[in-house]
Structure 1
Amino acid sequence: QGWKSLIVTTLIVAVSLFVVVVNLSEKPYFLLQPVFGQSLSGHLFKPPYRADKPHPGYLSIPKQEPLKLHCELCSVVSSSGQMLGQGLGAEIDRSPCIWRMNNALTRGFEADVGRRTTLRVVSHTSVPLILQKPQYFLGQSNDTVYDGKGIVYNMLKQAAENYPHARIYVTTEERMNHCDTVFKKETGKDRIQSGSYLSTGWFTLILAMDMCKEIHVYGMINDTYCKSDGYRKVPYHYYEAGSRDECAEYVMHESAPYGGHRFITEKSVFAKWAKTHPIKFFNPPWQLS
């Protein structure tokens, strides 16, 4: 009952939280220092890949050590229903680093999404879902990285103590402000004034561009997909059968006056980044002009 009360309070107090699940049984990778404060068309997403330079934007719990992670190739697997029925699991599992988001399950969906997870990014609203199945998400097969502050921080610190194979990191306030700044520079809109929340996908792509030399994104639709003729109607999450339609969810969030994710706007920014950074989109493929 104590955990339940903490979880409820978390949703009220937490500002932003991410869970990164790292499988330490694989080859270790090292995160490299990004170049801050430069134009988006310049070196912001082209960091020098130096294995001796840790990332200052993510600090471990409880030791407050910076995260070190670098992957030659990262496969970012979307939680979208676009993953269903495509049989890409084996291809994804061949990737050196496999990133997933929030509480996206692999069990029961291996043929389409793969079995392996190298790293997982989780928003603060999904942390209670992760902690409902700690053995699955925090067990020895999935050593984990988390971030949070206040009550959330204490919850994750306790989780780290209960699952010593997990690695947990908190996103610094400076890093969160940096992600807000990127959104404003790319869209011309202040995130807070426009009443929006950055999606987990937004933070994941920025994180990946710091840590990955090449990025393959699976199951993410582009900004015009929902307006195309005969688009594929799929559930918002592949692991939630019968859940709300993905495009309906996107349109609802894009037009929400306050508290919505700007999924469509974010996808247009991702397309721009892909022109200057080695990012490729699969299932469905993106046509980048």
Structure 2
Amino acid sequence: MTSRRLRWIFLLLLSLTLLLWYSRLSMSGVTMVNTGVRGYVRVSPGQVGQILHLHCTRCAVVSSSGQMLGSGRGSEIDRQECVIRMNVAPTRGFEADVGNRSTVRVVSHTSVPHLLKKEEYFFGHDADTLYVVWGPERNMRQDGKGRVFNALVKLAMKYPRVRIYVVTHEKIQYCDSVFQNETGKNRMKSGAFLSTGFFTMILALDVCDSILVYGMIDGSYCSNSNRTSVPYHYYESSRLDECMMYGVHERAKRGGHRFITEKSIYRRWASQGRLQFAYPNWSP
């Protein structure tokens, strides 16, 4: 009887020890089981509904802005655990300023045709990159009528090694609600489209513990009289001036991105401590 009682006491103490150990891990931020990041579903024939599994301690979010030209931040960017880029911004030829590594590319539905034009570069040279594509329901529907989604399915079949995810309709609605909560304006009623930068920042907040942002200017930058004129994209030096482009979109009654408004939102997010604007450097 005494032996049985001692055995039960031993098992009880062991259970309590394991429970305390698990609780301590949970409180310290260690996740025992990676349940994935909801809102991002893999495009993979035969594996419908696979959600994104990605976690990074420290991320570099690299803008496509001409601000990156001459920055010399390439090696610094490549030293971060995860590097997140946007649309089809190349690294080749710009390594000194933007780095070479690409962990994730967040891609607009309008940029998918540009991916298709440079398949070898993006799915050969960048074969290990994870692609996250966002777009409106009419282009991303999965009933055979979503033009962009159909193109992604073909890509996934042609390049089975490449991981392609789409932002779900529910996640896009969530992003709309974030925009409205931050600005007090209904995104659709205001005639605006969220930018790829906005979806990129939401993804970074979903998967990164801390975020270094490169190439994003302060929302007040374009109103400064002594500002420097830079190209809208660092890889299109002969194209439109960045601030001119921002102004056209900000004033557009329909179909424009609210780049300046979005950067004001990022400023508030940065004050919470997880975002840091590494280059150009500006504080919240």
TM over 0.5: yes
Q: How does 1:258-269 map to 2 (within 5 A)?
A: 258-269=254-265
Q: Which runs of 5+ in 1 are unaligned?
A: 1-47
Count of residue pairs the alignment pairs up = 241
Aligned match of 2:152: 156
Residue identity opposite 2:151 in structure 1:
M
- Matched-pair identity in %: 52
- Contact between 2:107 and 2:131, CA under 8 Å: does it hold in 1? no
Q: Which has the larger radius of gyration?
A: 2
2:41 to 52, 56, 59: 59
2:71 to 80, 86, 101: 86
In 2, distance between residues paired with 1:183 and 1:277? 20
Change (3 A) 1:233 1:49: farther
- Contact between 1:140 and 1:166, CA under 8 Å: does it hold in 2? no
More helix by share: 2
Q: Which of structures 1 and 2 has the larger relative contact order (alpha carbons within 8 angstroms, sep 6+)?
A: 1
In 1, distance between residues paired with 2:259 and 2:30? 30
RMSD: 1.3
| Residue 135 of structure 2 corresponds to residue 139 of structure 1 | no
Aligned match of 2:3: none
In 2, distance between residues paired with 1:49 and 1:135? 38
Aligned match of 2:161: 165
Q: How does 1:40-51 map to 2 (within 5 A)?
A: 50=31, 51=33
In 2, distance between residues paired with 1:119 and 1:153? 18
Q: How does 1:1-289 map to 2 (within 5 A)?
A: 50=31, 51-62=33-44, 63=47, 64-139=49-124, 141-143=126-128, 144-147=130-133, 148-149=140-141, 150-288=146-284
- Contact between 2:59 and 2:208, CA under 8 Å: does it hold in 1? yes
In 2, distance between residues paired with 1:162 and 1:261? 33
How far is the alpha carbon of 1:49 from its aligned partner?
Answer: 6.4
Change (3 A) 1:220 1:58: same
Change (3 A) 1:140 1:221: closer
TM-score by length of 2: 0.82
In 2, distance between residues paired with 1:61 and 1:49? 29
Q: Which runs of 5+ in 2 are unaligned?
A: 1-28, 134-139
